[in-house]
Amino acid sequence: MEIFRPYGFDKTLFVTVLILLALGLIMVYSSSAILAGERHQNTFHFFINQSIVAGIGLILIFLMLPVRKPFFQNTYFVYGLLFLSLLLLVLCLLMPALARTNRWIQFFGLRFQPSELAKLSLILFFAHYFDRKKERMNEFQTLIFPLIILTLFILLIIREPDYGTAILVFLICLIMLFIGGVKLKYFLFLGLPPLGLFVFYLFQASYRMDRILAFLSPAKDPQGTGFQIIQSKLAIGAGGLFGVSFGGSSQKLFFLPCSHTDYIYAIVGEELGLIGTLAILFLFLVFLWRGLVISKSAPNFFSQILAAGLTLAIFSQALLNISIVLGLGPPTGIPLPFISYGRSSLLCTLFGVGIILNISQRKKNIPKRK
Amino acid sequence: MKQEKIYEDLFPVLRRAKFIFFIVAIFFIFLILNFWKVQILDHDGYWEKSEANWMREITLPYQRGLISDRQGIILANNRASFRVSLIRENCEDYDKSCRKIARLLNIEEHVLKERIKKYESQPHFKPIVVKENLTFEEVAMIEARKLELPELILQSEPKRFYPFESFAAHVIGYLQELSPEEMRRDVYGERRLGELIGKTGMEKQYETALVGGHGRLIEVVDSLGRGREEVARSEPERGQDLTITLDFDLQKEVEKLLEGREGAIIVMDARDGEILALASYPDFDPNRFINRFTSEEWLDIVNSPEFPLENRAIRGLYSPGSVFKLTIALGALDLGIATEETTFVCKGETRIYNHPFSCWREGGHGEIGFFDAIRDSCNIYFYNLGKEMRIEEIARYARMMGFGSRTGIDLPGEKSGLVPDPQWKIEARDEPWQLGETISVSIGQSFLLVTPIQIAAHTALIANRGIRVTPHLFKSLSLNGKKRENRFNPPGNQVVNIDTSVFEQVIQGMWEAVNKQGTGWAALVSEYDVCGKTGSTQLISRDKSEEPEEEKEEGEEEEEEMKTHSWFTGFAPRENPEIVVTVIVEYGGMGGETAAPLARRLFNSYRKKYDRQEPTQTH
């Protein structure tokens, strides 16, 4: 039924990820050195933290590669992970606020952002669920359970508050529903409750409306929300074709807030120019291509939907971040996968990559296809 | 057949993934076109803005909240001041410009460099303050050399200013620069290096309310450093204004009375613990601290032998002396050891546990009763009561009266003093309790240490017949004239578990001490029913109290004039007490001679100001 080739994983995808990681680390150092120097008296502070997590992530991938049994298809694993992320999200809201938000939980001095884990576990859950119910996919009883789960997660993440991530989670779930084969007309009914939540919470906090207005006319905003958009575009524009040279960004000198996290791509644009921005876009495109190829040759429905889902989730997050940095969307805090500073995000993304690579080692045992 | 079924099912995943792929591809091309536009077509425009002209961020300083007394007289204000900062990035030759600047501003070159070194970790484009409070001549001089010295920028900022100089300095406190070590603490998370923060007093206690938020101005500047265009601006936010319970006039009088002496005076509202005046002398001028001065100047003040920075009212540790007899009297009555009729014979000296103990009056008081013992502060009487009570009970009543723990006044750094008992002595000194020490404690000597604010709080407790109030200075916070939430919530008034009649008897003694030719006669105010108790004691540091008790008694004999500190604490009027006055004058001689007359003047002033009209303070 299925052939497992240990270490016969997709090398192109792996190398792409490695290049993205390396670029990311370099850019994290370049964009955070000054901030780290001022705040932590050590210019390598963020770089070291990110490197450690990248190392752990790679070790994790190598541990996952030789696993013959598809552990990610195990019901206990999938629901266990789903329950764990739900628990952590609830815990998050109960924990004392950090920087006025409840996005992190903290134990033994380590901080973790459960919403990153939530993305991963939701993709696994949808793949698993649809695999079980593929015979009765387009029935009301089948769809009501994912809808409840989806709405619950979005509600918890909005409450943190992390509106941007909530939207991303919603988008990922829609992609999963779509490639899972849910008929388009059902999307209306599936999308309504979460959309209602989004509209409700949009008007709950004035800064969200401000951000959208700032996005529509950045020049008018005096309070600095539009400022971020202007600065980001200015950084990219100043880069030109070849960039102002590596490490030469002047925007990261506190002009551009979050320059090593959500807006790192703007620093790439400034320091490495169009060459750099297009190179990263190209790398993500290769990632998408290989991911879908892996999905196509995967041995069963579950592996296919999982590989495609993970690939599309990472890729769409990248696109979303890049569009925001370019000023094509209202500013929300979404990190650029592999590149942005953010340990929880990096670890979870690399875990996802590990699953994709594991799937790439599995082939159908049918001599001839179509 | 089955195989085919699965194969059919696989189809939608791929078809739909492909569909997404196409959507994404279109979006991708759109993104590339956008990058092309921003990075290639519009590049020149952005480049010009970002590089040929550079931007700078200027901090717009906020106004720290004002501090005013209960009548609205402003005690801590802000005024405009000019300062000049150095931007290291703009220096062509760092050493050369340091030399030039030092000469121009008339500061020593090494002082200047030391100051800049403190901020080494800051990015080079951030301005570092090199001199403040510039005179107009200096401002003009710097302005004139602007082209020559592009590394200097002039800024004006609101600056803390204490119009009455050393007035209430210990209450208001002072500001100092935030140091790199402090910055790492969470409390100051959003503050910047070099910013002025409250270091003591109200300025520290209510720091978070008094500070505002910095504004930010980002502007495009040309190659000469002149601002050309504002890119973004956020206005600074004002800090909240603080009103404290001090009464300007009483505080002024208190400080006048203390002038030239060393000591502390507290005037407190007996009913709710509001501090009307609190002074410690010698004091200092908080205006001096605001200038970012050199370390030598700072050491000068800190190392002064008179400790002007020490707030004696809450941090000075003294033996309570005869004032403690009130606690013994309360305890003895409450335990039934003494009644109004209990008498002892005082012959001027006595032997207890084979040690000689003497009364302050050489000939003795003869046969003496309870009220007279308080009135005349007879040592022999209280030796006997203390001996009966034993040290454990004395310690219990002392703690009940608030000794040995902080009163909770909203001033940082309050000390808790010491109530000794056998357990403490074993733990702290690894020695057993000596019975003779109990006798010394009965008249407020030995290891017993209290702060003046504890004495004031304990006096209020007696005046209120067992209801404890928390001394405090906070009255209200307001922002732009609008009241804010109450920051200081004094714990609800606790009731001490001693019968009211016991307090009435002790108060009778205190009343006689002032009104019937007792030791506190000098505090007499006609028709105001002042009740009080004097005390004379030594300021004992912990090391000194290690000397055996007998030696100290002898030492006192020889140098009494030199070393005795003078206590008075009292309240008025006797029924429905309104005000508590506590005075300690170091090296002041007997309490009745020095401290009591000062208290009388304060009772008088308070009465003149508040007694006529019904007091309007809110509870």
Looking at per-residue confidence, does B176 or B412 come out higher? B412
**Band of pLDDT at residue B611, cut at 50, 70 and 90:** low
**Band of pLDDT at residue B192, cut at 50, 70 and 90:** low
pLDDT at A217: 65
d(CA A347, CA A51): 11
* Interface mutation target, options B21, B32, B38, B230, chain A, most CBs of A under 10 Å: B38
pLDDT in tens, A246-300: 666 665 555 566 777 888 888 888 888 888 888 999 999 999 999 988 988 888 8
Q: Is A315 on the interface with B (CB under 8 A)?
A: yes
**Band of pLDDT at residue B349, cut at 50, 70 and 90:** confident
User: Hey, which residues 197-256 in chain A have their CB within 8 Å of chain B?
Assistant: 222-224, 227, 230, 233-241, 244, 250-251, 253-255
CA of B236, closest CA in chain A: separation in Å? 11
Q: Which residue in B141, B137, B138, B174 sits closest to B159, CA to CA?
A: B174
Give every CB contact of residue B607 below 8 A, 6+ residues apart in sequence: B525, B528, B572
Size of interface A-B (CB pairs under 8 A): 135
Are the beta carbons of B447 and B413 closer than 8 angstroms?
A: no
Looking at per-residue confidence, does A196 or B616 come out higher? A196
Q: With respect to residue A232, please indicate whether it lies within any of the assigned structural domains.
A: yes
Kindly state the average pLDDT of the residues B236-261. Answer: 90
- What ipTM does the predicted assembly reach? 0.78
Residue B227 CA neighbour count, 13 Å, CB half: 13
The number of folded domains in chain A is 1
Least confident segment among A183-192, B163-172, B489-498, B596-605:
B489-498
SS (H, E, C) B547-583: CCHHHHHHHHHHHHHHHCEEEEEEEECCCCCCEEEEE
d(CA A307, CA A301): 10
Q: Which residues of A touch B24 (CB under 8 A)?
A: 288, 315-316, 319
Looking at per-residue confidence, does B187 or B205 come out higher? B205
pLDDT at B552: 39
- Report CB contact under 8 Å: A296, B39: no
Q: Is B47 on the interface with A (CB under 8 A)?
A: yes
Asked whether residue B76 carries a pLDDT value surpassing 70, the answer given is yes
Q: Which residues of A touch B57 (CB under 8 A)?
A: 254-255
Q: Which of B55, B57, B232 sits opposite A222 (nearest CB)?
A: B232
Residue with token string 């003040």: B301
Token pair belonging to A248: 């030469």
Asked whether residue B475 carries a pLDDT value surpassing 80, the answer given is yes
Q: With respect to residue A369, please indicate whether it lies within any of the assigned structural domains.
A: no
Other beta carbons within 10 Å of A194 = 22
Mean pLDDT, chain B, integer: 80
pLDDT tens by residue, chain A, 370 residues? 678 887 788 889 999 999 999 999 998 988 887 777 766 777 788 899 899 999 999 999 999 988 888 888 888 999 999 999 999 888 888 876 655 566 777 766 677 888 889 999 999 999 999 888 877 777 778 888 888 888 899 888 888 778 888 888 998 888 888 888 788 878 877 788 888 888 888 777 766 776 676 666 665 554 455 667 777 777 777 777 787 766 666 655 555 667 778 888 888 888 888 888 889 999 999 999 999 889 888 888 888 889 999 999 999 899 889 888 888 877 777 889 999 998 889 999 999 999 999 999 888 766 554 4
d(CA B173, CA A22): 53
Domain ranges of chain B: 55-244, 248-474+493-610
Are the beta carbons of B199 and B174 closer than 8 angstroms?
A: yes
Look up the CATH superfamily of B248-474+493-610.
DD-peptidase/beta-lactamase superfamily (3.40.710.10)
d(CA A64, CA A51): 20
Considering the segment(s) B55-244 as one domain, its CATH architecture is Alpha-Beta Complex (3.90)
Distances, alpha carbon A58 to alpha carbons A6, A11, A55, in Å: 17, 14, 5
Q: Is B31 on the interface with A (CB under 8 A)?
A: yes
Whole-structure pTM value: 0.60
Q: Residue type for B165, please? A: E
Looking at per-residue confidence, does B354 or B425 come out higher? B425
Token pair belonging to B101: 């600047």
d(CA B145, CA B156): 18
Maximum average pLDDT range among A84-98, B398-412, B552-566: B398-412
Q: Is B36 on the interface with A (CB under 8 A)?
A: yes
Q: With respect to residue A210, please indicate whether it lies within any of the assigned structural domains.
A: yes
3-state secondary structure of A43: coil
Asked whether residue B584 carries a pLDDT value surpassing 70, the answer given is yes
Q: Is B23 on the interface with A (CB under 8 A)?
A: no
What secondary structure does DSSP assign to A141-179, as a single string? HHHHHHHHHHHHHHHHHHHTT-HHHHHHHHHHHHHHHHH
d(CA B363, CA B45): 101
Looking at per-residue confidence, does A24 or B117 come out higher? A24
- Report CB contact under 8 Å: B38, A233: yes
Could you list the residue range(s) of the whole structural domain that residue A218 is in? 2-364
- Report CB contact under 8 Å: A38, B18: no
Q: Is B37 on the interface with A (CB under 8 A)?
A: no
Dihedral angle computed from the Cα positions of residues A44, A49, A52 and A55, in that order, rounded to the nearest 10 degrees: -90
What percent of chain B has a predicted confidence (pLDDT) above 90? Answer: 20
Are the beta carbons of B194 and B129 closer than 8 angstroms?
A: yes
pLDDT at B542: 32
Q: Which residues of B touch A134 (CB under 8 A)?
A: 9
